[in-house]
């Protein structure tokens, strides 16, 4: 294995990883549609290999449908559903799982190819190996989440849903960060960090926290309550925020508290992101950092608009899925900015005007 990858191989690996990030982004959006259409519990078995093919005959469709009829969701929510209606929810969950399989194969096969051809250095071989293990854990987490909705209560645990979403975003972040490392020329990678590096990482962490609180909002369907903005039914802090006892249960089970926490982080980002944007205009940062700050500002504005519209219109499927995808775009932009802020702006070219040359003489 090479001590260090050459820049051409680095670009190839980076393009591969960014392509997988795009696929994972699509999968996260489809996951949002699956949740909003209540399709996630339509496939009651986890068959990583055999489940690759959908039902191919009427008999197979009837068999899958009969298994679904045994679930609490069918008995309590969808009793009397026709086979045709069942197919509508089945396909969303099937596409979601199929995308997971495609991403897994799309990662593993090229990764093994790079390893066998000795195109990866030791550091990146290990980093990418860890990403693959995270992907395997994500598949198991997905099934662990589905299992929670196949018992008495026909809805998945908000904790498992949030963990499933959070792990997907971590995998996205890991692949994007490695790709950004590889796209930066070797001489720039050795540069010292600038003073905005720590705030940039803190901002990315705050966006990730926002995504986790969004998972809790989705898990307990808190988006269907307090459908007003900027106040929550006339209050900045709703009076129901501490109605559960002991108090800490409110953070995870109380719709008022969960939605307030999510909104609060959105308000903070509404203030912090423009401040960071201004800071990149005044500090000695690279042009890449300034571009990333521009994209972060635009993505944040779009995401806040989507969030408000989704809330006021009581979470229509299209807007809800777009809002989930928008969160990933904001996170990607914050990671790009955090990565770019690890390096200072290129040194200014020396003044070679005639007046400067005369002064040097």
pLDDT at residue 71, rounded to an integer: 94
Position 272 scores a pLDDT of: 97
Measured on CA atoms in the order 95, 300, 22, 114, is the torsion positive or negative? negative
Closest CA to 210 of 174, 259, 254, 249: 259
pLDDT averaged over every residue in the chain: 91
pLDDT band at 112 (very low <50, low <70, confident <90, very high): very high
Phi and psi angles of residue 118, each rounded to the nearest 5 degrees, phi first:
55, 45
Q: What pLDDT does 52 receive?
A: 87
Query: Tens of pLDDT along 301-346?
Result: 999 999 999 999 999 999 999 999 999 999 999 999 999 998 665 5
User: For residue 283, what pLDDT is reported?
Assistant: 87
**Segment 138-155 mean pLDDT:** 92
Looking at per-residue pLDDT, the higher value among 144 and 361 belongs to 144
The pLDDT-based confidence of 284 (bands split at 50, 70, 90) is confident
pLDDT confidence band for 40 (50 / 70 / 90): very high
Q: What is the pTM of this model?
A: 0.91
- b (16+ CB within 10 A) / e for 192-213: eebebbebbbebbeebbebbbb
Domain residue spans in the chain? 1-183, 192-361
Query: Does the pLDDT at position 214 exceed 60?
Result: yes
Taking a C-beta distance cutoff of 8 angstroms, is the pair 333, 295 a contact?
Answer: yes
């Amino acid at each position: 294995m090479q001590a260090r990858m050459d820049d051409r191989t680095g670009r190839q690996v980076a393009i591969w990883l960014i392509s997988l990030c795009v696929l994972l982004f699509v999968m996260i959006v489809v996951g949002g549609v699956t949740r909003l259409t209540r399709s996630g519990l339509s496939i009651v078995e986890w068959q990583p290999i055999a489940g690759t093919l959908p039902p191919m005959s009427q008999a197979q469709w009837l068999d899958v449908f009969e298994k679904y009829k045994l679930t609490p969701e069918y008995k309590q929510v969808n009793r009397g559903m026709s086979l045709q209606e069942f197919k509508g929810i089945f396909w969303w969950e099937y596409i979601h799982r199929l995308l997971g399989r495609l991403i897994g194969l799309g990662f593993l096969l090229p990764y093994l190819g790079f390893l066998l051809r000795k195109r990866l250095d030791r550091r990146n071989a290990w980093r990418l190996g860890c990403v693959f293990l995270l992907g395997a854990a994500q598949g198991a987490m997905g099934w662990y989440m589905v299992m929670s909705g196949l018992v008495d209560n026909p809805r998945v645990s908000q904790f498992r849903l949030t963990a499933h979403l959070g792990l997907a975003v971590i995998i996205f972040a890991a692949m994007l960060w490695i790709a950004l490392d590889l796209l930066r020329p070797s001489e720039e990678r050795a540069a010292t960090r600038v003073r905005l590096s720590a705030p940039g990482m803190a901002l990315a962490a705050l966006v990730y926290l926002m995504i986790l609180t969004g998972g809790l909002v989705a898990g307990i369907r808190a988006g269907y309550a307090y459908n007003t903005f900027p106040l929550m039914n006339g209050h900045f802090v709703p009076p129901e925020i501490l109605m559960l006892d002991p108090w800490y249960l409110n953070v995870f089970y109380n719709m008022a508290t969960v939605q307030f926490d999510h909104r609060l982080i959105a308000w903070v980002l509404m203030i912090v992101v423009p401040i960071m944007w201004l800071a990149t205009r005044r500090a000695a940062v690279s042009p890449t950092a300034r571009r990333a700050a521009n994209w972060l500002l635009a993505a944040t504005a779009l995401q806040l608009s989507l969030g408000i519209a989704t809330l006021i219109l009581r979470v229509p499927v299209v807007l809800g899925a777009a809002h989930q995808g928008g969160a990933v775009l904001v996170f990607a932009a914050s990671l790009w900015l955090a990565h770019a802020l690890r390096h200072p702006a290129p040194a200014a070219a020396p003044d070679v005007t005639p007046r400067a040359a005369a002064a040097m003489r």
